[in-house]
């Protein structure tokens, strides 16, 4: 299949589907937390996801190697990945899906700030600066209107820190020999290392098993196979066929789906503060992802960044 010069109906459908899965993921994590401690849940999900990702890599004949200089960086990203999801899962234990969806998907904000200092070609432009300002205003609005609850502030802090960890993984993957690895190998590093880190850690920080039921195991399997396996492979397939610049415009959909599904599936109260924060963060993400036409043309001709 040849590369496309724009997002067509197939590409749009797949991108919306992946964004839906990412939003749904927050709800599923919240549901499983009833039966399993967040640290244990994160570790078990990583362990379960290894097999489907490995199977997809073999089916599509991806080159999986640890001898290309990526091993130490893969271990580093795996540790960061473990911290990221420990913080994000704990945030969901303390807060609502709606709040976590808004704050966790501020990742492009932290990625843009880091890239400004580490990647000369990605300096903050006036339009990106505006996007950063709008998105940060959204974060302030979300935290200002958090309401009552002693753990809500802690959940917000954990969530923003998790978003920073996510951005850190992206920067390491771009700036180190990790960029020699195919995306499936990068994910396998993160899954394997995080499973080995998180499962033992869970025995040190709390009640590993709460009210664990068979449906919780089913949700974990769904997360591993569908959210991680299908969602990840679909995202990178679309990235290999469609302009990366057009795909970026879909980045605001995941938090939108997260807020909507938290309300529909869990009956969460979505305050005016969260809705305002969602709008501001979404606008900020769109502005951050806008690039000059000359840069877009160059990126799209080369296939974009992975």
In the predicted model, is pLDDT for residue 239 greater than 80? no
Predicted confidence (pLDDT) at residue 285 exceeds the cutoff of 60: yes
Residue-averaged pLDDT of the chain: 87
- b (16+ CB within 10 A) / e for 263-294: beeeebebbebbebbbbbbbbbbbbbbbbeee
Q: What is the pLDDT of residues 5-20, one digit of tens each?
A: 677 888 889 989 999 9
pLDDT per position as a tens digit, 36-45: 988 999 999 9
Closest CA to 33 of 22, 45, 23, 21: 45
Contacts for 164 with CB less than 8 Å, ≥ 6 apart: 107, 110
Kindly list the domain boundaries of the chain, sorted by start residue.
Answer: 9-302
Q: Mean per-residue pLDDT for 96-119?
A: 92
Tokens of 33: 């937390």
Q: What is the mean predicted confidence (pLDDT) over 235-256? A: 75
Rounded average pLDDT over 178-188:
90
Q: Decide: 78 and 150 in contact? Cβ < 8 Å.
A: no
CA–CA gap between residue 269 and residue 65 (Å, rounded): 47
% of residues, the chain, pLDDT over 90: 57
| Average pLDDT over every residue of 238-250 | 69
Q: Is residue 113 pLDDT above 80, yes or no?
A: yes
Task: Report residue 216's pLDDT band, with 50, 70 and 90 as the boundaries.
Answer: very high
Q: What is the mean pLDDT of residues 75-102?
A: 94
Condensed to tens digits (0 to 9), the pLDDT of residues 128-150 reads 999 999 999 999 999 887 766 66
């Amino acid at each position: 299949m040849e590369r496309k010069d724009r997002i067509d109906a197939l590409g749009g459908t797949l991108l919306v589907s992946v964004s839906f899965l990412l939003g749904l993921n927050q709800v599923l994590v919240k549901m499983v937390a009833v039966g399993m401690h967040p640290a244990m849940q994160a570790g078990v999900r990583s362990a379960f996801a290894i097999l489907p990702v490995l199977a997809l890599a073999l089916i599509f004949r991806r080159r999986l190697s640890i001898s290309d200089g990526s091993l130490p960086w893969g271990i580093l990203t795996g540790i960061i990945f473990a911290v990221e999801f420990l913080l994000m899962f704990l945030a969901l234990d303390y807060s609502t899906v709606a709040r976590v969806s808004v704050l966790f998907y501020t990742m492009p904000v932290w990625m843009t700030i880091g890239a400004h200092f580490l990647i000369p070609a990605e300096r903050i432009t006036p339009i990106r600066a505006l996007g950063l300002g709008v998105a940060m205003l959204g974060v302030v609005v979300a935290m200002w209107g958090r309401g009552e609850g002693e753990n809500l502030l802690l959940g917000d802090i954990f969530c923003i820190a998790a978003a920073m960890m996510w951005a850190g993984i992206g920067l390491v993957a771009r700036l180190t020999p990790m960029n020699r690895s195919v995306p499936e190998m990068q994910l396998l590093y993160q899954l394997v290392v995080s499973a080995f880190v998180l499962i033992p850690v869970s025995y040190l920080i709390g009640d590993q098993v709460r009210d664990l039921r068979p449906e919780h195991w089913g949700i974990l399997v769904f997360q591993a196979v569908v959210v991680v396996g299908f969602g990840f492979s679909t995202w990178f397939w679309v990235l290999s066929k469609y302009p990366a610049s057009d795909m970026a415009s879909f980045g605001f959909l995941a938090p939108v789906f997260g807020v909507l599904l938290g309300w529909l599936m869990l009956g969460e109260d979505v305050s005016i503060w969260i809705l305002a924060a969602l709008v501001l963060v979404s606008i900020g993400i769109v502005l951050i992802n806008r690039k000059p036409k000359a840069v877009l043309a160059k990126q799209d001709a080369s296939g974009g960044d992975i």
